Amino acid sequence: MANIELSYDFDLPAAKQRLDRVQERNPSSAEAALNMESYYWFSGRWDEAIEVNRKARELDPLNHFLEEELGLINFHGRRYGEATRILEGVREIQPNSVPANFGLPLAYAAWGRHPQAVKACETALEILGDTFESNIYGACGYAFARSGQEERAREILDRMIEAQRERYVPPVWPATVYAGLGETDKAFEWLETCLEVRSPNLLFLISGAPQFDSLRSDARFDDLLRRAGVRGS
């Protein structure tokens, strides 16, 4: 139920109350800690999210997903050096890690490390082969755009839009690429689609995803969150 309040109702206070009760009943549950981590993450409370992630890893040290989460939390907290360090380590152990393979292009691009961003994209896309993964395509489209490789970014964008005919592509990813290209109106069109379908990815906006920093000063951004009914932490 707390996940519904976080991901679909965007009601952070209600989710926090429910998560507090769950943790009181299950203080040794790594799953409960992970859910609380999500709350702090979506609230933009990076230090607390990292601390809860540490607790979850102590409770479940074999869960590699928690290390991936830690890298992404650091990315959202704009701790790009730490994010890339963690995610490079994850990918070294798990080359097929989806979070590492979309997190690294995003983090390097947002950090302004464009050669590393392009290399991360090329590695990720080579690992994918003919497989389509919207997270990785969207991140690489953004990274190529930010790195001045507009043609490659648009090729990826076309691929994502074409893929929609056969599968669900979270609208946050075309929005991400358009944001990277500096096409603000197009980015907002896709973010509106996030709102229309109550996309859980809208929480990445709430939590301050760096790829949308260029949009935050636009009045449409706050209006989008207002219409989503976002209730703060």
Residue 5 inside a domain? The answer is no
What is the residue range of 141's domain? 106-228
Cα(4)–Cα(87) distance, integer angstroms: 28
Our CA dihedral for 7, 9, 13, 15, rounded to 10 degrees, sits at: -50
How many domains does the chain fold into?
1
Residue 45 inside a domain? The answer is no
Task: Return mean pLDDT, the chain.
Answer: 87
Residue 19 inside a domain? The answer is no
pTM score of the predicted model: 0.88
pLDDT, mean of residues 129-138: 95
More confident residue, 221 or 14: 221
Cα(203)–Cα(2) distance, integer angstroms: 14
pLDDT, mean of residues 169-193: 96
Q: What is the chain's length?
A: 233
Residue 34 inside a domain? The answer is no
Residue 158 inside a domain? The answer is yes
Whether the per-residue pLDDT at 130 is higher than 60: the answer is yes
Residue 84 inside a domain? The answer is no
**DSSP-derived secondary structure letter, 167:** S
Question: Any idea what the CATH number is for the domain that residue 186 is in?
Answer: 1.25.40
Residue 164 inside a domain? The answer is yes
Residue 192 inside a domain? The answer is yes
More confident residue, 131 or 20: 131
Joined tokens for residue 69: 């989460």
Residues 44-63: pLDDT tens digits? 889 999 999 998 888 888 88
Cα(223)–Cα(208) distance, integer angstroms: 15
